[in-house]
Amino acid sequence: MQELHDRGEIVLSSTGRSLSRKRFLKDAKGTPVTDLWDDLNRVSPTSNERLDYPTQKPEVLLERIIANSSNPGQIVLDFFMGSGTTLSVSTKLGRRFIGADINLGAIQTTSKRLIRLADELRQRPLDPKIKFFPGLEVYNVNHYDVFRNPIQAKDLLIEALEVQKLEFSTVFDGEKDGRMVKIMPVNRIATRADLNELIAGFDYKAWQRKQNESPNRPVEKIALVCMGHEPDLAAQLELAAKPFKIDVEVLDILRDKADLEFKRDSQAKVSIKMGDLVIEKFYPMNLLQKLSLQKESVEDWKELVESVLIDWNFDGAVLQPAVVDIPGKDYLVMGAYKVPDDAGTIRVKITDLLSESWEGSVGNGD
């Protein structure tokens, strides 16, 4: 007690009847951080952060996570980036980032958000001790068109692989080079469980007739088209067909068909007039076919557009959009855009309501 008194840590109460110890902030241990964070609010409908994205998280939440789990200059990876909150906060904190999402709306929302943030960062003073990374590039990996459109995946693959479609078969999707073709699920690797529907549809009576006619030949030749598969997928199907002999070939798009291309019939006319990049015409032919419309029937091509991306200085390889024009609830895309003075080769990407795209380039001054 005497030692505390000598250090001035014992104080007399105002009544002079009791003693207490003086507490200093440096000695306070604080409250340990728990795994329940209930001090953070949602993104309110009136917040400047609000992007009307259904799974949007508040930036303050990501600030706490990123600041406590990484250092400036390090890479933050978000596999399901949604509205891009993680990437936006990473940029503000001087982190690099990689974001991925299968949802086209997420790609567009995030790109637009990051481009706007880059403009804001250029206009305000930044911490000189931290290097910031406001730039971004957008990549399509693997066969994004197929992953993005699982409902249309069969038609896309049948067209790209030049498979003869079978309209009335409940087992196979088509035929190619003497093989019956089955399109496996495209949003994950194909497994033994995915073969059950095919096995249940085997025509054993027809196989028996074929085996009686040619005992040494396979009763069926089958091609499984997939995007990733278990290594013994073909063996599993052959085993399930016993006592009949079948010949199974697995065509893995991710491994065997790296150069697979999906046909796009869209047409567009883009030009530069009076210093503006103008989209004069856009005809998404597949969409028009589904709508039973002719080109001449299109009164306003903007009604058919999901987004317009513009790279003012296209390097010939990677589209880096400086303009991301996405229609809102009450307005369509603009269709005309002021060309900056330093523009070079301009690359335009127009995506229609089927998420199919047209891309083209025009030189500044053409």
H or E stretch including 243?
Answer: none
Give yes or no for a contact between 170 and 201, defined as CB atoms under 8 angstroms apart: yes
Q: Whole-structure pTM over 0.75, yes or no?
A: no
Q: How far apart (Å, rounded) are the C-alpha atoms in residues 186 and 146?
A: 7
**Structural domains of the chain in order of their starting residue, each with its CATH number:** 41-136 (3.40.50.150), 147-256 (no CATH), 267-363 (2.60.40)
**Which residue's entry shows tokens 């798009």?**
253
**Which residue's entry shows tokens 């028009």?**
288
The three-class DSSP label of residue 64 is helix
**Left if phi > 0, otherwise alpha if psi is -120 to 50, otherwise beta: which for 283?**
beta
Q: How far apart are the first and last CA of the chain?
A: 89
Give yes or no for a contact between 74 and 99, defined as CB atoms under 8 angstroms apart: no
Nearest-5° Cα angle at 266, 80 to 305? 55
In the chain, where does DSSP find H-type helix? 2-6, 59-69, 85-92, 104-122, 144-148, 153-160, 196-200, 204-213, 233-240, 253-256, 285-290
Q: What is the pLDDT along the chain (366 residues), one digit of tens a residue?
A: 677 667 777 777 777 677 777 777 777 777 777 788 888 888 888 888 988 888 899 999 999 999 999 999 999 999 999 999 999 999 999 999 999 987 878 888 898 899 889 888 888 888 888 898 888 888 877 666 677 667 678 888 888 888 999 888 888 999 999 999 999 988 788 999 999 999 999 999 999 999 999 999 999 999 999 988 999 999 999 999 999 999 999 998 877 765 666 655 689 999 999 999 999 999 988 788 778 778 878 889 999 999 999 999 998 888 889 999 998 878 899 999 999 999 999 999 999 888 788 999 998 765
Q: Residues with Cβ < 8 Å from 53, sequence gap 6 or more?
A: 82, 83, 105, 106, 109
Give yes or no for a contact between 321 and 357, defined as CB atoms under 8 angstroms apart: no
